[in-house]
Structure 1
Amino acid sequence: MGTRRVVVTGASSGIGAATVRLFRQHGWDVVGVARRADKLAALAAETGAAVFVADLTVQNDVDALQDYLAASGPLHALVNNAGGAMGLDSVEDSAVEDWAWMFEINVLAVKRVTSAVLPLLRRTIAAEGGSADILTVTSIAGHVAYLGGGGYNAAKFAAHALMEVLRLELNGEPIRVIEVAPGMVKTDEFGLVRFGGDAVKAAAPYENVPNPLTAEDIADTIVDAVERAPHVNLDLITIKPVAQAAPSRLARGALSVRPEA
């Protein structure tokens, strides 16, 4: 089998960019997809990855992505990474517009891209044999609710359900469906988007938390899952820093053993 190719969404920064870098280091051909052309151009220059500018909440952009992928070679894996949170208000007080944006990017974009890419994965399997992968980055917010998480919880719970159903639908085909659900990951932009560019609010959740996860930690998990033997499916991978027991249960300050009684 020749070089394998993967498409990674949300590739302009954070987990997506780190995933593109690591796949390239492992010898994969990579197509990085995001809205920001300047960020993608810099990533392409750094890594040698191919890039495609698209807003995944716009069907015409996803159709154009499908056409590009179909015309540019076989495809072996999809990493649905694009997503985000908006606000930390209560269910009562939060803006419906924020919920709609979160559902669009965390759920409907995953559905759009998965629907576009699945025929291409099947085409590659038919031509080459082997198997393919669909991996989606969700969140522990899609498994455990927390105060202020209403819209984000709802969207990520839906993304989790989407992956569960897709795995049932694809049973019998050599296509793995993998979900990676990270906990606290400190990246440059997640908090800034959530809090409308307020750097103080964006930094507060990580204050005095020892060693939150990095984008590179999640990228390592993604690439490891996709590169495992094709008969092994890591259906659901939950990954949190040791300091985080649950979304709302964080240790702050240095970790240390309790003194003996």
Structure 2
Amino acid sequence: MVDDFNHPRGGSLFKIDEQGTPSNPTTAERNAVFSRASRELSVSVARRALAASGFAREDITHVVYASCTGFVNPGPDFYLVRDLNLKSSVERYTIGFMGCYAAFPALRMAAQFCEARKEAVVLVVCLELCTLHMQLDDRPDAMLANSLFADGAAAAIVSAREPSRDRPAYRVEGFASALVPKGEAEMAWDVGDHGFDIKLTSYVPEILGAELQPLMQRLLLPWKKSCQEIEEWAVHPGGRGILDKVELGSAFPMNRC
């Protein structure tokens, strides 16, 4: 959405001066790019998801949008309804500043809408433009964040209706959530004058590795399942260190992931 990373003199955001020093854009300048790019990307992925789902645009009853890398109003949730020509009665919800795990509360919200209204068809869109908040300094937190977090957008259609036999679909059986309070000080994100400032220490993988197995045992208890009974796992990585600690600190069959 910006030409900065393919431009020899810098692009529209991270401009490079005559001495070869890149600029440090303000939060407002970064957010202005988010305002434009988030709309375009959200509509694009939603249109593709809708086309592949077998549902018509008239079927959509709710829109759930999640992002933590920018703020704008009217936001992408508004333009999803308008640019996709959805019904004006579509209910819109935004989940903000929860981080990369926001996709799960977004899907959970969609599932709850479908449980409450059997005719509900929910469009879920998650979008993050992390490179807008790239910090050009040598702080360990900044370098780690710059190397880990990238840009992306994805969409899904959630419905209680029986899926078409000629369309791929997943069945959502349930959700569970838990807190690991000891990680509170190790990962945080604040709005600064020059983008969003992240705090991300090297202890995050250690905390997850130590807490994951007892945490998963508690979360699986309502389904009367053990970790060993789950045949396939999809782990949100957050870096190689987290994957290594998950494998070492758990009884999961990680070689199958």
TM-score (normalizing by structure 1): 0.27
Higher relative contact order (CA closer than 8 Å, sequence separation 6+): 1
TM-score, length basis structure 2 = 0.28
Q: Select the structure of larger CA radius of gyration.
A: 2
